[in-house]
């Protein structure tokens, strides 16, 4: 057995690393003595849980002052003891525990996520309930390193949590590859690994005490929601690999065609070479004015568009566009689905400052072109299933009506009136501008945003915004109340008790934060109800105000109606209504159906 001594502030801590099965009795004693609660973490070969070759290399358990590192790669009794310990301990403290739980679920073939999620206390969740802001937004951030720096010890954050970069340098590899290449008993790795459960344990205890009283009821709710999103992530989205390969090849042809156009018309051999493109544009009489910090000419899309209708500019834009579409979407989907034919998007149940969920990784749901079936056709329902989608009807505007109590807005929803036309008529503009104004204003946008998105001049945009607030006086009053609250307290409290910090120079964001966060919790509560009714195995993605399912074709109509019924709720007399759609097999078929209608 290897033992390492370290300090957090003035406190000594010990990290023990099991080398041989003869070392396990001491580990078992540690587990028995800490049955009530322990920190836990894993070290894996990488972040792609469902790709071939993924392994869990180390498992670590720790309390505030002592940690144990177990080499799972040694197999045999090492695995048995770790799984036994996980089942024995009442409460497991992890940081971003979904990753570790799904890693063990996938790799072990024995312990399931359903056994571990009920035990989870996630320090990332508790920290988010204290301060939901990211580091770039002026908050503490939510990574283990960021939170360690704030709540525990700046030196530990720098020396230990920052040590993987140093390990990668020693092994002459990248940080991403270092996790699979570093020796299992490298002292620096063992210190890094052993500190993780210990830090998560300390962070959870510290942040739990700091959660505002109003938000304490969210602790259990957020953990349940994280588990449900974890189950969806594990299921993944079946991927039409043939479609992806066809589209990848077609995009490659398009990119090659436009590269040839650039070569023929201006001698540009590589459209990704800024030097070549800049030199060719200058030779063709264009005047470039902006340079990078290194002194090279800038040739971005805006500059290229300003050179239109020059065929070289068009060729460079298109060649790069098609190459990016190929690599960002279809090539990534092909690679990500190599293991089980599915893409497993990373569903962050606590995403933004408002707690709005985000989906990234293998299924970048929030960055796909809006309402466009092209990329979504890569994802299909299971064999014998069809795609079902349940959307909330104007979710955020309905929530705004409920929270503000605006009588005219509530009446409009109750009567099925067209809110966008009401705003348009009040301002003397067309319905499209009325719709844009409704959503922009609810999202905290003003005249400048309306000018940019609606193509209006400044006087017209200001006039439309003024008429919007006059059309909905209850909402205007509510907006003023929230801005006053934000100025006084520096934060607002949602109807679920979540406290959201508001920047001093942006009190106008308060209503947007409250509406967006409350809408997120409408979706969150719906996911909990759907789970209780047995829908989670059929759920694929929660995308803001929409849930996407794969349902057996023969039961799809009933399933869609039932899911919509479960998701619907009423807030202060306003029905947050839902609209179910039964589509074809692909996710994109939903949007093709809408276009056809």
Q: What is the pLDDT of residue 299?
A: 87
Tell me: pLDDT of 395 over 90: yes
How far is residue 518's CA from residue 496's CA, in Å, rounded to a whole number? 8
Domain residue extents for the chain: 2-211, 241-336, 349-394+520-596, 396-517
Q: What is the pLDDT of residue 597?
A: 61
pLDDT tens digit string along 493-516? 999 999 999 999 999 999 999 999
Q: What is the pLDDT of residue 15?
A: 98
**Strand spans (E) along 77-235:** 91-94, 120-122
Q: Are 403 and 478 in contact (CB under 8 A)?
A: yes
Q: What is the pLDDT of residue 370?
A: 85
Q: How far is CA 418 from CA 49, 184, 274, 478, in A?
A: 46, 63, 50, 22
- Arithmetic mean of pLDDT, 469-481: 95
CATH of domain 2-211: 3.30.420.10
Q: What is the pLDDT of residue 593?
A: 75
Return the closest-CA partner of residue 552 out of 388, 344, 342: 388
CATH of domain 241-336: 1.20.1060.10
Tell me: pLDDT of 532 over 80: yes
Percent of the residues in the chain that have a pLDDT greater than 70, as a whole number: 100
Helix axes 447-454, 431-442, angle to 10 degrees: 140
Q: What is the pLDDT of residue 544?
A: 84
pLDDT tens digit string along 430-460? 999 999 999 888 777 888 899 988 889 899 9
In this predicted model, which residue has the larger pLDDT, 292 or 35? 35
Percent of the residues in the chain that have a pLDDT greater than 90, as a whole number: 85
Helix (H) or strand (E) holding 60: strand 56-62
pLDDT tens digit string along 139-165? 999 999 999 999 999 999 998 878 888
Cα R_g (the chain), whole angstroms: 27
Q: What is the pLDDT of residue 288?
A: 86
CATH of domain 349-394+520-596: 3.30.70.370
CATH class belonging to 396-517: mainly alpha
pLDDT tens digit string along 94-132? 999 999 999 999 999 899 999 999 999 999 999 999 999
Q: What is the value of pTM for the model shown?
A: 0.94
């Amino acid at each position: 057995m290897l033992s390492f001594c370290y300090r957090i502030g003035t406190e000594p801590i010990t990290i023990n690393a099991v080398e041989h099965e003869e070392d396990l009795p001491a580990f078992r004693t540690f587990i028995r003595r800490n049955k009530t609660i322990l920190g836990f973490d894993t070290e894996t070969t990488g972040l792609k849980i469902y790709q071939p070759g993924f392994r869990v290399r180390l498992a670590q358990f720790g309390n505030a002052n002592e940690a144990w590192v177990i080499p799972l790669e040694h197999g045999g009794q090492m695995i048995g003891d770790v799984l036994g310990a996980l089942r024995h301990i009442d409460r497991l403290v992890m940081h971003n525990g979904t990753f570790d739980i799904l890693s063990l679920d996938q790799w072990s073939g024995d312990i399931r996520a359903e056994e571990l999620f009920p035990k989870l206390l996630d320090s990332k969740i508790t920290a988010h309930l204290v301060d939901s802001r990211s580091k770039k937004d002026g908050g503490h951030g939510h990574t283990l390193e960021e939170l360690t720096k704030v709540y525990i010890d700046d030196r530990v954050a720098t020396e230990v949590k920052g040590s993987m970069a140093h390990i990668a340098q020693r092994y002459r590899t990248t940080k991403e590859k270092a996790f699979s290449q570093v020796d299992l008993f490298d002292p620096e790795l063992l210190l890094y690994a052993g500190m993780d459960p210990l830090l998560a344990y300390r962070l959870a205890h510290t942040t739990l005490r700091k959660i505002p009283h109003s938000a304490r009821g969210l602790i259990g709710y957020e953990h349940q929601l994280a588990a449900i999103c974890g189950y969806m992530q594990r299921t993944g989205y079946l991927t039409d690999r043939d479609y992806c390969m066809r589209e990848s090849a077609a995009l490659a042809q398009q990119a090659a065609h436009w590269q040839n156009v650039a070569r023929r018309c201006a001698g540009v051999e590589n459209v990704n070479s800024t030097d070549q493109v800049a030199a060719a544009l200058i030779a063709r009489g264009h005047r470039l004015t902006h340079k990078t910090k290194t002194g090279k000419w800038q040739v971005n899309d805006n500059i290229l568009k300003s050179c239109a209708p020059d065929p070289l500019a068009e060729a460079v834009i298109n060649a790069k566009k098609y190459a990016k579409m190929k690599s960002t979407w279809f090539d990534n989907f092909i690679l990500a689905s190599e293991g089980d034919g599915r893409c497993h998007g990373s569903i962050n149940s606590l995403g933004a400052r408002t707690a709005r969920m985000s989906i990234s990784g293998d299924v970048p749901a929030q960055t796909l072109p809006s309402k466009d079936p092209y990329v979504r056709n890569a994802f299909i329902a299971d064999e014998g299933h069809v795609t079902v989608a349940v959307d909330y009807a104007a979710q955020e505007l309905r929530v705004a009506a409920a929270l503000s109590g605006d009588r005219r807005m509530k009446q409009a929803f109750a009567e099925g009136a067209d809110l966008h036309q009401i705003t348009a008529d009040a301002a003397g503009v067309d319905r499209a501008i009325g719709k844009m104004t409704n959503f922009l204003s609810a999202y905290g946008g003003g005249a400048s945003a309306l000018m940019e998105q609606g193509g209006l001049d400044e006087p017209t945009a200001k006039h439309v915004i003024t008429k919007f607030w006059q059309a909905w006086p209850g909402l205007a009053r509510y907006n003023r109340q929230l801005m006053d609250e934000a100025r006084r307290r520096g934060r607002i409290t949602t109807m679920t008790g979540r406290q959201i910090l508001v920047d001093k120079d942006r009190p106008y964001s308060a209503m947007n934060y409250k509406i967006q966060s409350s809408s997120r919790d409408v979706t969150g509560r719906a996911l909990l109800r759907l789970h209780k009714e047995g829908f989670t195995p059929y759920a694929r993605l929660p995308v803001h105000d929409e849930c996407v399912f794969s349902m057996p074709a023969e039961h799809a109509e009933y399933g869609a109606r039932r899911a919509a019924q479960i998701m619907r709720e009423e807030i202060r007399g306003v029905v947050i209504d839902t609209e179910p759609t039964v589509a074809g097999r692909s996710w994109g078929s939903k949007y093709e159906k809408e276009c056809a209608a």
